[in-house]
Structure 1
């Protein structure tokens, strides 16, 4: 059975992902690396609490078959764009470097729709930069997920996201806007596990429609599979 490593295990996608992995018969151990205790009822989940400023002191934690990188914060939570970049880019890149050095085969990243290292948006720029830099680390397989707004129950209130989650589902029914519709964190987590347990090599990027097809696209996809 395989060993999965998860950073960002207390977040919206990460917590749902840990639940998925804990139920999988193909996963023997789930190592969750967190900044605060994150106990889980499943015996196969091994939570390790570390100071992310000292990740380099814990290379032994990044030994396994796959690394799921789900770490994320907001500028408001972090206090500044620089502090947000420390979490969303620096910590995740260092974790990826440690995993690559230990021979982890598969790296799976929750990025963002519109991620672009050349973007004028500081958020999209750091997401794009991380994508580019992990591609250079030599993982045999890299899977990048680019969802739009993530919705679901969080352990803290994000007012902007709450308002967007109320407005966007209706707004995104308009032609041309479906690509920006919200997606639940549980849906992204389920797709990540599905990809992790499938075969493949190289770099693959999953956009919103590939993670969770729109209602209009689903029947067409079903027809294509039936041919």
Structure 2
């Protein structure tokens, strides 16, 4: 039996990932680090309230084999680039490092298609630098998930994103060959792919794009 640690458990993917981990026979404890207690109760669940600044104080209460990182924000919520970078880069990297120090041998990170540390686009550069720095930690089982358009119902009101989600199925067929990685994928499928990848035990750095995530989710 393993112990899971989740950052971003109240977000779009994390909120779908959490019940899967709680239901999984692979884990006897699931710890979540959240800014606000979501009010979820379960015999396996341990809820720690904190953020990036609270991690040093929370470290002694963390015990993990696998760490799942589904952290992130939007420019609409955090227009300041320094603050955005702190949430999308600094927090995931620090979370992975703390988990590694507390025994984690597997890290499962949500990134984005097109992530590249040298990108001229701030968003893709941030995601690429996050991948680079998490990979550099040398955690034995490192899995990076790169979805494109995330499909599914969100609690937040995002009119432009809702429009994109509505029209995406109509253009999905245009993405063929190497462009298939830009196809839309349901948030629940990304969450399921993370859980399946964690159960595989594959060693090394593993990058999962659309086709791989769909294959993992369908197993």
Superposed displacement of residue 60, structure 1: 2.0
**Moved runs in structure 1, 4+ residues, more than 6 A?**
none
In structure 2, do the counterparts of structure 1 residues 67 and 175 end up closer, same or farther at CA, with 3 Å as the change threshold? closer
2:106 — aligned with what?
Answer: 106
1:59-91 deviations in Å (ceiling 9; x for gaps): 124321000000111011123222221111111
Partner of 2:166: 166
SS of structure 2 residue aligned to 1:64: coil
**Corresponding residue SS for 1:71:** coil
Q: Which residue of 2 aligns with 1:205?
A: 207
Measured in 2, the distance between the counterparts of 1:31 and 1:40 equals: 12
Deviation of 1:29 after TM superposition, in Å, equals 0.7
Query: What are the within-5 Å matches in structure 2 for residues 165-184 of structure 1?
Result: 165-174=165-174, 176=176, 178-184=180-186
Take 1:208 and 1:33, find their aligned partners in 2: how far apart are those partners? 28
Tell me how far 1:175 sits from its aligned partner: 5.2
What TM-score do you get using the length of structure 2 for normalisation?
Answer: 0.92
Task: Tell me the secondary structure at the aligned position of residue 109 of structure 2.
Answer: strand
Aligned residue pair count: 215
User: C-alpha separation between the residues in 2 aligned to 1:115 and 1:192?
Assistant: 18
Distance 2:175 2:58 in 1: 49
Unaligned runs of 5+ in 1: 223-227
Could you tell me how far apart the structure 1 residues matched to 2:23 and 2:133 are?
Answer: 32
Deviations 1:10-36 (A, max 9, x none): 011101110101111121011010011
CA distance in 2, matches of 1:62, 1:42: 17
C-alpha displacement of 1:161: 1.5
Residue in 1 that maps onto 2:31: 31
> Greater CA radius of gyration, 1 or 2?
1
Where 2:143 maps in the other structure, the secondary structure is strand
State how far apart, in whole Å, the 1-side matches of 2:162 and 2:61 are. 35
Give, in whole Å, the separation in 1 of the partners of 2:122 and 2:26.
Answer: 38
Equivalence map 1:15-26=2 (5 Å): 15-26=15-26
With structure 1 as the length reference, what TM-score do the two structures score?
A: 0.89
Structure-2 change in CA distance of 1:49 and 1:166 (3 Å) = same
- Contact between 2:14 and 2:70, CA under 8 Å: does it hold in 1? yes
- Once the two structures are superposed, what CA deviation does each residue of 1:99-118 show, in whole Å capped at 9, x if it has no partner? 12223110100110000001
1:38-187 matched pairs, under 5 angstroms: 38-174=38-174, 176=176, 178-187=180-189
Partner residue of 1:225? none
Q: Which residue of 2 aligns with 1:193?
A: 195
Report the alpha carbon displacement of residue 178 of structure 1 after superposing the two structures with TM: 4.0
Summarize the Cα distance change of 1:175–1:69 in structure 2 as closer, same or farther, 3 Å threshold: closer
